Amino acid sequence: MKIVKEALAGTLESSDLLVKVAPSPTDTLEVMVQSEVIRQFGEQINKVVRETLEKMGVTAGQILVDDKGALDCAIRARLQAAVLRGADCNKIEWSRLS
Amino acid sequence: MKLRRSMLFVPGANASMLSTVFIYKPDSIMFDLEDAVSLREKDSARLLVFHALQNPAYKDIETVVRINPLNTEYGLLDLEAAVRGGVDIVRLPKTDRPEDVHELEAHVERIEKECGREVGSTKLMAAVESASGVINAVAIATASKRMVGIALAGFDYVMDMQTERGDGTELFYARCAVLHAARYAGIDAFDVVYGDVNNEEGFLKEVDLIKKLGFNGKSLVNPRQIDLLHNAYAPTEEEVEHSKRVVAAAEQAERDGLGVVSLNGKMIDAPIVNHAIRVLQKAQASGVRK
């Protein structure tokens, strides 16, 4: 799955996150994570982001995650929403989202 | 005894509320993917609810998802997310005919099979929001073995009836019709939301009315209404003490081989004993009114 257009999902409200995705000019996958709780939970947040993208089969795109203390379930959901929007994907494979 | 007094609406697009709402301990939490979510956030809200349902924090609380109507482009996707996410109950809005429930049930069964969920484990609830829905309430309530409840949704109903929310007179027929349908079908009945969250007196007045009518509970829009509702539905100490005496007298009569017994000069028969048992079950489940 490739990101073919810019897209956003989420908000900057507390306990939420904003995910921005864009096509990669080098056709690679670039991921950047910012978080208010990066010191305490940075490892876990990065793990959730990495696993979610892997499961969806995202191979190319720029992914920016701006986390405001969201739970793992919200991180997965917002990331998936942004990727599906950016990949212009209309067909959902639920097994890749669980 | 499963209590369904309070069903708290939570907007499906609100990550913060989805992450914390379980702390308020309503009897059921209803994640809303319909009216509370704007059209451009439907996809993101659906995924939030899908993952929130799998959060261990919701393991011990009954979850409900209000999907969009199946005749919209969102309804079926919402249903996929809800059933695959493990929801306990799917709430179908704008249910006008029993065929709406049949269509929903067929899709639920297909999704259960596809995702490996036990067939029949997803329960259903219908919200009636129109004159047509109220007229067909009995057929809707009995449309599926999966049905556990029927709810009246006030705003759309009064619009359809060309009136507006007032002192409850405008809902009188619909409340009675929905309630009778629920009792006939052996399922639960839920009253409309009370939107004026700062008016506790008005809220409690409405709760008193629907409790007397026989509703199991009410859809709620604010966590502040939960304790007020639960307390109003809890039996009083006097009711509990009286019920204990009724049950004790009935048990004594059975030991003595008597069919009918009296307590303080009043005859106690089976319906009175059954009512007393229900009061004691409610007290055990919800505590005594403060």
Ordered strands of the A61-67 beta sheet: A7-10, A17-22, A61-67, A29-35
Mark whether B265 and B127 lie in a shared domain.
Answer: no
Mark whether B245 and B153 lie in a shared domain.
Answer: no
Q: Is the pLDDT of residue B285 over 90?
A: no
Q: Are B171 and B131 in contact (CB under 8 A)?
A: no
- Non-local (6+) Cβ contacts of A46 within 8 A are A33
Q: Is the pLDDT of residue B5 over 80?
A: yes
Q: Which domain does B273 fall in, by range? A: 237-286
Q: Is the pLDDT of residue A35 over 80?
A: yes
Q: Which domain does A19 fall in, by range? A: 7-87
Mean pLDDT of B122-138: 98
Tell whether B97 is in a known binding site.
no
Residue B166 lies in a domain: yes
Mean pLDDT of B4-10: 95
Confidence (pLDDT) at B117: 96
Q: What is the value of pTM for the model shown?
A: 0.92
Q: Is the pLDDT of residue B260 over 80?
A: no
Mark whether B78 and B21 lie in a shared domain.
Answer: yes
- Chain B residue with CA closest to A84: the answer is B43
Mean pLDDT, chain B, integer? 95
- For residue A19, which of B212, B43, B250, B275 has the smallest C-alpha distance? B43
B47 touches chain A (CB under 8 A): yes
Q: Is B228 exposed, middle or buried (0-12, 13-18, 19+ CB in 10 A)?
A: middle
Q: Residue B136: pLDDT band by 50, 70, 90 thresholds?
A: very high
Q: What share of chain A is helix, strand, coil (3-state, %, to 5)?
A: 40, 25, 35
Residue A76 lies in a domain: yes
Mark whether B203 and B268 lie in a shared domain.
Answer: no
Task: Please give the Cα distance from A15 to B14 (Å, whole number).
Answer: 9
Residue A67 lies in a domain: yes
Interface A:B, Cβ pairs < 8 A? 61
- Cβ of B43 within 8 Å of Cβ of A85? The answer is yes
Residue A97 lies in a domain: no
CA atoms within 13 A on the CB side of A36: 12
Q: Residue A96: pLDDT band by 50, 70, 90 thresholds?
A: very high
A70 vs B contacts (CB less than 8 Å): 15, 19
- Cβ of B44 within 8 Å of Cβ of A77? The answer is yes
Q: Mapping DSSP to helix (H, G, I), strand (E, B) and coil, where does residue A64 land?
A: strand
Q: At what angle do helices A38-56 and A72-86 cross, to 10 degrees?
A: 40
Q: Residue B106: pLDDT band by 50, 70, 90 thresholds?
A: very high
Instruction: Point out the residue among B19, B51, B84 whose CB comes nearest to the CB of A15.
Output: B19
Task: Please give the Cα distance from B125 to B147 (Å, whole number).
Answer: 6
Calculate the dihedral angle through the C-alpha atoms of B32, B35, B40, B43, rounding to the nearest 10 degrees: 30
Q: Residue B118: pLDDT band by 50, 70, 90 thresholds?
A: very high
Strands B266-268 and B261-263: antiparallel
Q: Can you say whether residue B287 is alpha, beta or left, with left for phi > 0 and alpha for psi between -120 and 50 degrees? A: left
Mark whether B132 and B260 lie in a shared domain.
Answer: no
Mark whether B184 and B119 lie in a shared domain.
Answer: yes
Tell whether B256 is in a known binding site.
no
Mark whether B45 and B99 lie in a shared domain.
Answer: yes
Q: Mapping DSSP to helix (H, G, I), strand (E, B) and coil, where does residue A85 land?
A: helix
Mark whether B52 and B170 lie in a shared domain.
Answer: yes
pLDDT, tens digit, 9 for 90 and up, residues B49-73: 999 999 999 989 999 999 999 999 9
Mark whether B165 and B72 lie in a shared domain.
Answer: yes
For residue B155, give how far its alpha carbon lies from the nearest alpha carbon of chain A (Å).
29
Mean pLDDT of A58-70: 96
Residue A48 lies in a domain: yes
Q: Is the pLDDT of residue B1 over 80?
A: no
A97 vs B contacts (CB less than 8 Å): 47, 50
Number of domains in chain A: 1
Q: Is the pLDDT of residue A89 over 90?
A: no
Residue A93 has φ and ψ, to the nearest 5°, of: -100, 100
